[in-house]
Structure 1
Amino acid sequence: MEILSLGEKIKKLRKEKNLTLKELAGDRITAAQISHIERDKSHTSYELLEYLGEKLDVSVDYLLETKEMQSKKLTDNMILKSEIYIKSNQIEKAEQEIKEVLSICEKYNLIENYGKCNFLLATINLKKGNNNDAVTNFEKSLHFFIKNNDKESIFKCYLNIGKVYMDEKFYNGAISHFNFAEEVLRESKIEDISIYQDLYSKISYCYIKLDQPQKSLDYIAKISELNRQGNSKEEVDVLVLRANNMLNTGKYEEAREYFDKALAILEKEENKTELAVIYLTIADTYRKMGNTEKFLEYSQIAYDIKKNDEDDYMINSLCNMIRAYIELGEFEIARKYCKIGLASSIKSRNRYNEYRVLKFYADIYKAQNNYEVAIEYISKCIDIVEGLNDTKILADLYIELGELYSGSSKEKELEYYQKGVFMYKNLDII
């Protein structure tokens, strides 16, 4: 779609219909007047526009559309196309489309759509894992949404920035932005209960992580005040938050009661992922209590639910089971599940999970006093972790490798201890 002035439209339409200036003018006006109109050198009356629209088979509304109006319509459609590209995971096409939209927005001062483009760029950066760039784009879009007083979009920006900070474990920053989002909600007089519940759940979670259980409970109480009748997802969220608060204060039995209630709801809905999350959390509860058998039992349930999905929940439950079997001295069973975990990690090309499973192999052989094979597996882990650029894990592996060499090579023991200690010092651990 081209963005044309009135004169450019008339000239284009006339040529498409193979009309001369004289033929378009007819008995109404002169060819010279048409020429002036086509060069935007002359104004026209509404009656003349009706005449020209009839001759050219277009509406008067189309002829009257300004370049700004056309650019708004064009960019609206291009933005929709970009959203489709993003949802279809065609990121490069989406970026190209957004760049074109931005150039049009700058030319015609389309504030609202300029903000939308930055919001979409932020979404793309989130997909790419570029959290810092995503926050920058959200902040840019905020500037334009505030200018345009677009409350809904302002809320989304604050909410998304808060979510990024929450993912990065910057919980104070997350809470600040969630609070801004709540202010916008109240100003907008939005009454959608689920929006408030989601927001309060996130704030409560952040306070749990900041070890401020009372503030977390305050927001859980706010959720409880809302009408959640018939909305099982929100009810589950509240129960899980209450359970997590109990966990953080060491009230394991009370936590389990809340988890059981959440499970009863989820089992009715057959929500596999949320069900697995609950079982994994219960498993973690028993691990903190030192009950390895119960830890294994609930990890096994989570694994049975997710074993065909090969996602993070599957691998986490599998790793729990391997850890439990090692603690129980069931090394052959642990090895069997290590084999499954390694195959899944290689298939999904997840190097971190591959490292996790290989480390379990090392733990098995170490527990069986087969230090030579344990060393081989720790060395494989080091090769992987060096590529992951995780200094803390790498330092731990060097220290463990030094320990394994303590009975066979004092030279290598000292070498790897020194490497680990050097890294700990750089991380300010020692």
Structure 2
Amino acid sequence: MDFKAVGKKIKELRKTSGLSQEDLAEGICTQAQISKIEKGDVYPYASTLYQISQKLGVDVNYFFDIGTTPRLDYFQEVFHQLQILRRSGKYEEMMDIVKAELDNPLFSQNNKNLQLLLWHKGIYLYEVKKDLSKSVDTLKEAIHLTHKKGKILLERELEIFLAMGAIYFKEDINKALEVFEEVKDHLQLLPHLNDFTIKTQHYYHITRVLTRLNRQEESNKYCEDGIKWCLHKDSLFLLGELHYQIGYNMELMNKPEEAVKFMKKAIIVFEIQQDTRHIQFIKNRIKELSALI
């Protein structure tokens, strides 16, 4: 554990928050102890580090990551850029970053960091190269870098499984359902979920699979649970898609009035997000369905 890296980050966050050492120490420890921690002379107990993290407004795991991963800020920036490109479907640009970082010791010599690159390479191999076999093999390789047999899947491993399921959705719908059911089992076993969007993604993916399998009632139930989850987390992420999915299910169930109601809700969310990719398509669907009412 790199005590100095952790101490340096605590000092940086403290100053950014406008706190003195005395302010940060209040209710936790002495000012002298904070000074020693920031200098890297001592490492705090886990309970002390937790209290410090709460006062500084960060997850306690952030400090553990800093202590074991050099240049964490750089890694986080790479992760953020890959996430943006992945979610926007800019796979060529995404792969450019992967290629640039594969020889970087920060990634090549750290399995957890290398996993990030292989995950996105696997997506690229399918979305651009259309190579299902290599894509799935690469995603499995990424998972095996950190997964211990017999243990529950960790959060990033779950995300990679979700990516695999999304690929199977286009190739083998029953295999996709199998993957998403496995993800559901592991989600239920996780004691805590730091990234709540993983659960949101699972709701979205499994609803689409069930719709494709003509199990609209089950799909709607997952959609409703997903919408409740989004609202509970005050998040718009995939909220529009979940409303649209119910609307689409209602259309398939010959309930055009209900379909229009949920599609209109989807448009409201997409307009708030300024997501123009879906709005016109849904408006056209509403127009066609309204003619049937």
TM-score range, shorter-chain basis? 0.5 to 0.7
Matched, 1:175 2:136: yes
The letter for the 2-side match of 1:177 is: T
The two structures have a TM-score, normalised by structure 2, of: 0.58
Counterpart amino acid of residue 198 in structure 1? E
TM-score, normalised on structure 1?
Answer: 0.42
Summarize deviations over 1:100-119 as a string: whole Å, max 9, x none. Answer: xxxxxxxxxxxxxxxxxxx7
1:280/1:317 contact within 8 Å kept: no
Counterparts in 2 of 1:180 and 1:140: CA distance versus 1, 3 Å: farther
| Residue in structure 1 matching 2:239, options 275, 283, 297 | 275
Of structures 1 and 2, the one scoring higher in RCO (CA 8 A, sep 6+) is 2
* 1:224 is aligned to 2:185: yes
Q: Look up the match of 1:414.
A: none
Alpha-carbon distance, 1:229 to partner: 4.5
User: How much has 1:251 moved relative to structure 2?
Assistant: 0.9
Kindly indicate whether the alpha-carbon contact (under 8 Å) linking 1:299 and 1:317 is maintained by their aligned counterparts in 2: no
Contact residue 165 and residue 174 of structure 1 kept, 8 A: yes
Q: Verify: 1:152 aligned to 2:116, yes or no.
A: no
CA distance, structure 1, for counterparts of residue 89 and residue 201 of structure 2: 26
Deviation at 1:179, TM superposition (A): 0.9
Give the 5 Å matches for 1:284-303: 284-303=248-267
CA contact (8 A) 1:224 1:238 kept: no
Larger radius of gyration: 1
Report deviation, 1:298. 0.8
Task: Give the corresponding residue for 2:220.
Answer: 256
Give 2:284's aligned residue. 322
Amino acid paired to 2:239: L
Given residue 196 of structure 1, which amino acid in structure 2 is its aligned partner?
Answer: E
The whole-number CA distance in structure 2 between the counterparts of 1:259 and 1:184 is 33
Deviation of 1:234 after TM superposition, in Å, equals: 3.6
Distance in 1 between residues matched to 2:278 and 2:286, nearest whole Å: 12
Deviation at 1:163, TM superposition (A): 3.0
Q: Per the alignment, do residues 283 and 167 of structure 1 end up closer, same or farther by CA in structure 2, a change over 3 Å counting? A: farther
Q: Secondary structure at the match of 1:186?
A: coil
Deviations 1:70-104 (A, max 9, x none): xxxxxx99x97xx69x96xxxxxxxxxxxxxxxxx
1:325 counterpart letter in structure 2: K
Amino acid corresponding to residue 166 of structure 2 in structure 1: Y
Q: Please give the alpha-carbon distance, in whole angstroms, between the structure 1 residues aligned to 2:98 and 2:138.
A: 12
Instruction: Give per-residue Cα distances to partners, 1:12-44, cap 9 Å, x unaligned.
Output: xxxxxxxxxxxxxxxxxxxxxxxxxxxxxxxxx
Matches within 5 A, 1:12-411: 131-132=91-92, 134-135=94-95, 138-139=98-99, 141-143=101-103, 145=105, 149-168=109-128, 170=130, 172=132, 173-186=134-147, 193-226=154-187, 227-231=189-193, 232-312=196-276, 316-329=278-291
> Structure 2 CA distance, aligned partners of 1:151 and 1:130?
25
- In the alignment, the residues of structure 2 paired with residue 142 and residue 213 of structure 1 have an alpha-carbon distance, to the nearest angstrom, of 34
> How big is the shift at 1:188?
12
4+ residue runs over 6 A deviation: 127-130, 187-192
- Cα separation, partners in 2 of 1:273 and 1:132, compared to 1, 3 Å: closer
Q: Could you say what the CA RMSD is over the residues aligned between the two structures, in angstroms?
A: 4.2
Q: What amino acid is the match of 1:151?
A: N
Shift of 1:273: 3.1
Paired residue secondary structure (1:236): helix
Distance in structure 1 (CA, Å) of the matches to 2:279 and 2:90: 28
Post-superposition offset of 1:282: 1.7
Distance 2:237 2:281 in 1: 17
For the Cα contact (< 8 Å) 1:220–1:238, is it kept in 2? no
1:328 partner letter: S
Question: Could you tell me which residue of structure 1 aligns to residue 29 of structure 2?
Answer: none
**Is residue 197–residue 223 contact of structure 1 (8 Å, CA) maintained in 2?**
no
Q: In the TM superposition, what is the alpha-carbon distance from 1:133 to its structure 2 partner?
A: 6.4
SS, match of residue 274 in structure 2: coil
Cα pair 2:270 2:278 within 8 Å, conserved: no
CA positional deviation for 1:324: 2.1
Distance 1:130 1:299, change over 3 A: closer
Query: CA contact under 8 A between 1:217 and 1:245: conserved in structure 2?
Result: no
**3-state SS in 1 of match to 2:102:** helix
Q: Secondary structure in 1 aligned to 2:162? A: helix
Q: 1:134 to 1:273 in 2, by over 3 A?
A: closer
- State the Cα distance separating 1:154 from its structure 2 match: 1.8
Equivalent position amino acid for 1:194 in 2: E
Contact 2:239–2:266 under 8 Å retained in 1: yes
